[in-house]
Amino acid sequence: MPDLGKYGAEVLSAYGATIVLLVGLVWVTWRRSRAVRRALGAAEARESDG
């Protein structure tokens, strides 16, 4: 680990906030993509059945 000296809190909190926001963005994107794909699949199945 690099020695961050007296700026450890600043550097780590900047990286921490960035990781949380980016992971959150990827997770929300993936979750909505999956939900819409499933809902569309179900709707198309009903359409072809009916």
Partner 1 sequence: MSIWKYANPRRFMGWSKRLVPVFAVLAAICLSVGITWGYFFTPDDYRMGATVKIIYIHVPSAMMAINVWVMMLVASLIWLIRRQHVSALAAKAAAPIGVTMTLIALITGAVWGQPMWGTWWVWDPRLTSFLILFLFYLGYLALWQAIENPDTAADLTSVLCLVGSVFAVLSRYAVNFWNQGLHQGATLSLDAEENISNVFWQPLVITMTGFTLLFIVLVLIRTRTEIRARRLHALMARERTA
The footprint of partner 1 (CB under 8 A) covers: 1-8, 10-11, 13-15, 17-18, 21-22, 24-26, 28-30, 32-33, 36-37, 39-40, 43-44, 46-47, 50
Distances (CA, A) of 18 to 13, 14, 29: 8, 6, 16
CB of 35 to partner 1, least distance (A): 9
Q: How far is the CB of 47 from partner 1 (least distance, A)?
A: 6
Torsion of the alpha carbons at 24, 29, 34 and 36, rounded to the nearest 10 = 130
For 4-48, list the strands marked E by DSSP: none
Instruction: Compute the least distance from the CB of residue 48 to partner 1, in Å.
Output: 11
